[in-house]
Amino acid sequence: MMIVTTDSISDKKIKKTLGVVRGNTIRARHVGKDILAGLKNVFGGEIEEYTKLMAEAREQAIDRMTSSAEEMGANAVINVRFTTSFIMGAASEILAYGTAVIVE
């Protein structure tokens, strides 16, 4: 499965557009990680615990989007984008979306 952020894939011809596909996940913070993050906030530096959490969430959203595209019969997803939204005090959603296509 090819996944790109552009509206085309170089050296590939879009044979058929199948429609919008999406994958999302909602992740909550962990109390233990919040304590470590609080310390980093005081002393400065990257909050690795949250960086890892967000990276895992992005990968899960991509996997779910890809599964949706495969169910439609796609072999590529173009115009892939990510968005995040605040759900509640300790939880956020990551959404990956794009256009499922068949390329040759």
Report residue 49 CA to chain centroid gap. 18
pLDDT in tens, 26-39: 987 665 555 555 66
Looking at residue 41, its pLDDT comes to: 63
Taking the C-alpha atoms of residue 81 and residue 13, their distance in angstroms, rounded to an integer, is 21
pLDDT in tens, 3-14: 999 999 999 999
pTM, whole model, 2 decimals?
0.83
Q: Residue 42: which H helix or E strand, with range?
A: helix 31-43
| Domains of the chain and CATH, by start | 2-103 (3.30.110.70)
19 within 8 A of 98, measured Cβ to Cβ: no
